[in-house]
Structure 1
């Protein structure tokens, strides 16, 4: 009988196992990063949101507080602000991207692409200071308007209200829309327009039958992406309003700074859980829309 304990392993089999594991090896760093910086915090938020801070017992009281009163108003205001600063920049960004894409100037395309990349990533306290120095009550542009006899602050405008914050968000939301919608515009093949012209279709018929159906999934996906970006923004609004505007990220920041009532230490985690649920739902819809849009980008 052969000695099975001393039989060497087949080199071909060993090589096949290594080849099958090699593609997954590249995912290990990403998986570890995701688990450490996304999975662990989400688990901590879920556990804390359902835990009594005094006894550690399971409770829904934190969720009840987080979905009522001023905290419910914070969710409503945050969603309203995110919708406004997603839809309006989405439409404006689409028009700008289309105008640039149809231009024959390669210099213009490169300049707009570079500028959009810079503006889309400019935010936080520096952006707040930029708008305060420009459109604040003593800002440069407001001073010019006052010299012309028109004070916007006497006519209901204020940089520190919902309207002012929405205006500030559009500064980086429109360039972001230009960046994310440009690949979809590039997916509109010139051959489709030529075929429509050869068949006698008008410009409106081309857009109604071909252009809009092709762009719509990408447009909706881009708007959802802008919604998520606006919904989670914190530093710019905090620097402008100092918490006077009821927004969920600012309310969570207040809990992190220790401004809590006794027995409500975990309400901030409940607010965070609410944001995770909303952003998760948005990302699921975004994934479904992008799956449909990707068929036209191949």
Structure 2
């Protein structure tokens, strides 16, 4: 087991319990492919879960040594992308992309405006349907709307939802990105039918998986460095190292108490990837292809 000890007294950055830099070395052009920005300057339809501005996030970039980022639209802003588009500009449009949330009444003009602002996909966060901005019945319609822009669909679904919608996922022509390790439930992990569904899509070149949110399904927790998630993460690395990206999920909006250690989350990737080559692919090459970052 690698050394995951991160000593120190006080957290170094906001919305994180990291007290020291990661053990794993920084990689040039590394991308954090999943983060959220919450900024009180922008009106929200629900309570903002964290004070987490683009300027705050620069602290995470300095801590981890990442320079590219993907800002995912938070639920509290519904379909108003003012905050996300502002964050892309503040973090640097050459190195930052965004994921939007839209509904079927979105106009073509609005989609093109979002594209010009750095948006490269739309998210269906249906893990908790009761609070979802969009629904399953909108997936195929919206997939067809954004296909001409070259966007992908980002899916935060339960493993049960993935398995239940196998037919829908298989026929979609738009690339799919499964959030947070595709939410394989523990302790079963890869034994869940959804693992086979996602694996088939990976084999066909239709899908990607984000190695993020280790804490979301872990039963072991931070004290044991989310060790029970290792078999799932390593299975994705074995299955399709060329179809994976990594994300911090900062500011960890689901974790309303103790915030995760972002240095630990960064080190977990090195543990899962196994080799420097695989780690670089996941941090640099894959997100460059998926999000359209230009070569340095």
Q: TM-score interval w.r.t. the shorter chain?
A: under 0.3
Q: Give the number of the structure whose residues are more often helix, by fraction.
A: 1
| Structure number with bigger Rg | 1
TM-score normalised per structure 1: 0.22
